[in-house]
Amino acid sequence: MGSSSDRSKKKVQLWKKAFIHFSLCFVTGFFTGFAPTTTTASFFSALHVFARVNTSLPPELLSPPAPFPTSAAPVESNLRDGRQLILITTTRSDDPFSVAFLQRLAQTLRMVPPPLLWIVVGARSSAPATARLLRWTSVMYRHVTYGENFTDAGAEAHHQRNLALAHVEHHRLTGIVHFASYFNSYHPRFFDEIREVEVFGAWPVAMVSASRKRVLVEGPMCRSTKIVGWELKDLSNGTVMSRTATFGAESSDGRESESTARINISGFAFNSSILWDPERWGRPSSVPDSSQDSIRFLHQMVLEDEAKIRAIPADCSRVMLWHLHLPGQISP
Question: What was the pLDDT predicted at 32?
Answer: 60
Question: What was the pLDDT predicted at 214?
Answer: 84
Range from 53-62, 72-81, 195-204, 272-281 carrying the lowest mean pLDDT: 53-62
Range from 25-39, 191-205, 316-330 carrying the lowest mean pLDDT: 25-39
> Which domains does the chain carry?
72-325 (3.90.550.10)
CB under 8 Å to 26, separation ≥6 — which residues?
none
Q: Output the DSSP codes for 70-139.
A: PSHHHHHHHHHTTPPPEEEEEE----TTHHHHHHHHHHHHHTSPSPEEEEEEEEGGGHHHHHHHHHTS-S
- Mean pLDDT on 159-188: 95
CA distance 71 to 75: 7
| R_g (Cα) of the chain, nearest Å | 35
Per residue in 257-279, pLDDT (tens digit) is 444 556 789 999 999 999 998 77
User: Predicted confidence band at 55 (pLDDT cuts at 50, 70, 90)?
Assistant: very low
User: Could you say which DSSP state residue 306 is in?
Assistant: G
Per residue in 5-27, pLDDT (tens digit) is 666 666 666 666 666 766 666 65
User: Predicted confidence band at 145 (pLDDT cuts at 50, 70, 90)?
Assistant: very high
Is the peptide bond between 313 and the residue preceding it cis, with omega within 30 degrees of 0? yes
Question: What was the pLDDT predicted at 168?
Answer: 96
CA distance 311 to 226: 7
**How many other C-beta atoms lie within 10 A of the C-beta of residue 283?**
16
